[in-house]
Amino acid sequence: MNKYKDIHFEVSERKVLLRIFDVIFVLLSLYLVGVVFKFNYFNISATNFYWTIVLGVYLNFIGSVFEMYNLQVASNQFQIIKSIILTSSITVLVYLLTPVYTPILPTNRLQILIFYIAIFIALFTWRMIYVRFFASNRFSKKVILICDKEQLKELVFALESADPHYRVLGFVNSDSADKKASDNLKIKNIEISNLEEFVKKNSISEIVIASQKTDGITVNLYNQLIHLLENGYIIREYTQVYESITQRIPVQYVSRDFYRYFPFSRSNQNHFYLIMVRIFEILISLIGLCIGLLILPLILIGNVFGNRGKLFYTQERVGKNGEIFNIVKYRTMVKNAEKGGAVFATTNDSRVTPFGKIMRKSRMDEIPQFINILKGDMAVIGPRPERPVFVNEIAEVMPFYETRHVIKPGLTGWAQVNYSYGETIDDSLIKLQYDLYYIKHRSIFLDVNIIFKTLSTVLLYRGQ
């Protein structure tokens, strides 16, 4: 059994670590401030312990909205400072405005300033420690890939871009027809005879098998893998690793015998879950339409000067089970935007009007779709509904695309909060991977996660 592997943290472990120590550092900071500066607003004791619970919940909830637990953000000291400022400010504001569950507002305004500074310094200190030590290479997960050389670049990019702490140190070429080493590859090509020595010398944490050609797994390689497995090394299949790290389904590496190992989430047939979701959708739609009515005068004025034309437009989209329905949106493009035929919208699309850009960035153009949700054509959460012409075009070249239609399309979804606007067929493939991940793992927890990320998109003005 190998006892000398380097310490590393999984994605879920890092997120738990960040959440726990955010709360610990904040509470410790407030305790020290109370001792040193006679800070009386927030006293931790057995009689008011619930104050600490409420503060911890606020920190985790608001931190999720402002991407404090996004590992790419958490590992970048410049991006995380922005998140700390927003999280500290909103947390303090909400905490002060809920005195039923939190301390009564202090008469001395200086106490409020001390409260804010203590929380900000605590979060800043812990996150700089995380960036300096826990996000460093010493805690990276070191991996070897067993794959065809032609696949290597794509496989490595997909894994390392999803997890900044995932490092592929080498690969074993499993293509029996192409055993030549390449000087163009930055990742070391490991000979099968040297595999075990390389694993031990470099403290490899995991071996990932991504080969689609069984003849590449020779008897010699198979025996070495078995020996490494017996010595405590983890060996996993690529699609499992890809799914757990990227949180999307790698359909390009899945054979056409898809349904054998793609079990849909039980929530898709859970009547209690579906009823609760429907009640939630109706409530959210009514709230959304009320907000829409409040800001309608501003939209009308903006439309007159910025759009100069009809306020609404309808368009055919593909819904559940492939049924066609008409989606309702605020118009954001110029008149006759598709006089040359249907085309994908693009980033900085010249057809989008000045006011249309504002509505897209803030997601205000989506408000009329609450009508579709009330009618039952759409859900709040699900794959975004696509136009029939694009569905037919994409389905011809992309396997499993129409699998998206087993559930209702949504106002927001896992693909929307994790990926930018789809401009090409390749973008549609990536969004399909996210959509299938949602269909496979659909649950209340994932729905709440999507809502948090959607709030981040709206509040940080990241609409497309």
324-330/312-318 β-pairing: antiparallel
Two tokens at 106? 């202090």
- pLDDT (tens digit per residue) in 198-253: 988 888 888 998 876 666 677 888 888 898 888 888 888 888 888 888 888 887 66
Residues 6 or more apart in contact with residue 57 via CB below 8 angstroms: none
d(CA 296, CA 302): 10
Class of the domain covering 140-246: alpha beta
333-351 average pLDDT score: 67
436-447 average pLDDT score: 90
Higher pLDDT, 100 or 348: 100
d(CA 334, CA 345): 13
Two tokens at 461? 């003005």
CB-based contact 315:387 (threshold 8 Å): yes
> Any idea where the domains of the chain sit in the sequence?
11-134, 140-246, 266-459
Higher pLDDT, 299 or 1: 299
Backbone φ, ψ for residue 349 (5° rounding): -60, 125
d(CA 442, CA 439): 5
Which of 73-82, 131-140, 154-163, 407-416 ranks highest by mean pLDDT? 407-416
pTM above the 0.85 mark? Answer: no
pLDDT score recorded for residue 220: 85
CB-based contact 249:403 (threshold 8 Å): no
176-202 average pLDDT score: 74
Cα dist from 260 to 255, 256, 264, whole Å: 10, 10, 11
- Looking at residue 149, the DSSP 8-state letter turns out to be G
Alpha-carbon Rg of the chain, whole angstroms?
Answer: 26
CB-based contact 457:362 (threshold 8 Å): no
d(CA 265, CA 271): 13
Q: Look at residues 17, 91, 99, 81 and name the one whose alpha carbon lies nearest to residue 57.
A: 91
DSSP reduced 3-state for 235: strand
Q: Look at residues 440, 429, 358 and name the one whose alpha carbon lies nearest to residue 406.
A: 440
d(CA 7, CA 13): 12
Two tokens at 199? 């694993």
- pLDDT (tens digit per residue) in 22-67: 999 999 998 888 888 777 778 777 777 788 888 999 999 999 888 8
Strand partners, 326: 316
